Amino acid sequence: MRSYSFSTIIFLCLSLLTVDILAFYWLQSITQLITSQIIINSINIAFWFFTIGLISSIILLKSRLDSIHPKRKQFLISSLYGLTVSSFIPKLIFVIIFSVLYFTNYMFSETESLIIVPLVGLFSGFLPFFVILYGIFRTLYRFKIHHIKIKFDELPKNFDRLRIVQISDLHLGSFNFRYHILNRAVKLINHLEPDFIFFTGDLVNNYAWELKGWANVLKQLSAKKGKYSVLGNHDYGDYNLWKSANAKQANFESIKYFYKKIDFELLLNDSVLIEEDGEQIAIIGVENWGNPPFKQYGDLQKSLKNVTNVSFKILLSHDPSHWSKEVLQETNIALTLSGHTHGMQAGINLKNKKWSPIKFKYKHWAGLYEHNKQYLYVNRGLGWLGFPGRLGMRPEITFIELRKLVD
């Protein structure tokens, strides 16, 4: 996870405090309906106890961040992230709704204003609060299988009905070594009986120690023809201050070696040929390539070097920005598989309708995209990072069936 400056943390805390002051002001319009002064005082004390405790914890964690062990640091950051989101967003909505209702109370009679405005305002705060709690305690590990069928002219006949499972963005450190949770996803994947399993990067948050014990879980993943992977931006250790370049490199080498332990072939700007009765397809894997500030380790031309004559190519590239920058119109790659965005872990998915604030940063952020018969699929991620929840954006297992287009 990225490290934020102390000034950014102070600005965050001031924002929290400002919203809480406004929320407390409007809260008095609700507590005035309570006859017991003891209950009113208890509500007020609890309100400010939580606010002061949260802000103090954020500042204290930031000031002592360097002295905290990475394992504990990761847990504390995620916990405070969850508390901050579950507190700030409901209160902000409460303040906005209550303010609008109050300053437009000409819509109601004086009696109605004393009852309706507080009740609607209170509901507007509690509803998002419970939605966020649902995203943290229920949706976070409700794995969803997305079934996708894509037809291609160039697909060799012997690869018709090829079954692919794509997973992405495991961020194993966020699971806190709760192996049984990911075991459920492994069983779902194996039940699909895929020909290939493709993993499109971000195995860890930062550190190789996050991988302890996970080989026994991930080695159970089964694919008839092979398992392939690429690296994501978090796999390089770029978001940590290392004691030395050697320490960072050792961490990186341990992460790469882990793929051998789980029988995945890691493609580092490389490609492999898959042959069936004289017909071939190519699987290409590039290292992470993203728009700045993300580093561009990927070298697509190097990856394509040995498969230029193969008519059907599948590219594994962690960041979907790569597709529009170097793949479209520059190559004849038929299908690109990416991840990275997590769908922001928050959004709306209703049948064919999807929306998330992440769309303002990434043009291609979740699901299937097509341009001139070239396809991109962006996986919403199987794990999580930062906010320990998913709101309308369940963790994804993508099941893709490739079909030969018949005239």
Average pLDDT for 262-280 = 97
Does one domain contain both 257 and 370? yes
Domain range for 62: 6-137
- pTM of the entire structure? 0.90
Task: Grade residue 351 by pLDDT with cuts at 50, 70 and 90.
Answer: confident
Residue 216 lies in a domain: yes
Does one domain contain both 225 and 209? yes
Does one domain contain both 316 and 267? yes
Average pLDDT for 99-113 = 63
Phi, psi dihedral angles at 195 (to 5 degrees) = -75, -40
Does one domain contain both 132 and 150? no
pLDDT of residue 4: 74
Does one domain contain both 155 and 122? no
CB atoms within 10 A of CB 374: 19
Task: Grade residue 1 by pLDDT with cuts at 50, 70 and 90.
Answer: very low
Long-range contacts from 145-148, C-beta under 8 angstroms, 24+ separation: 145/188, 145/192, 145/396, 145/397, 145/398, 145/399, 146/367, 146/396, 146/397, 146/398, 146/399, 147/399, 147/401, 148/368, 148/377, 148/398, 148/399, 148/400, 148/401
Domain final position from 72, 102, 137: 137
CATH of the domain at 206: 3.60.21.10
Does one domain contain both 130 and 172? no
Separation of CA 92 from chain center = 24
Query: pLDDT digits over 360-397, tens only?
Result: 999 999 999 999 999 999 999 999 999 999 999 999 99
* H or E segment and range at residue 273: strand 270-276
Does one domain contain both 257 and 394? yes
Does one domain contain both 374 and 297? yes
Domain tally for the chain? Answer: 2
Residue 78 lies in a domain: yes
Residue 1 lies in a domain: no
Does one domain contain both 295 and 233? yes
Does one domain contain both 129 and 203? no
Residue 195 lies in a domain: yes
Residue 123 lies in a domain: yes
Size (the chain), residues? 407
CA distance 299 to 5: 32
Phi, psi dihedral angles at 36 (to 5 degrees) = -85, 120
pLDDT at 114 over 70: no
Residues in contact with 384: Cβ distance below 8 Å, sequence separation at least 6, in sequence order = 140, 171, 174, 342, 345, 390, 395
Domain final position from 97, 120, 137: 137
Does one domain contain both 227 and 262? yes
Domain final position from 95, 114, 137: 137
Does one domain contain both 256 and 215? yes
Task: Grade residue 184 by pLDDT with cuts at 50, 70 and 90.
Answer: very high
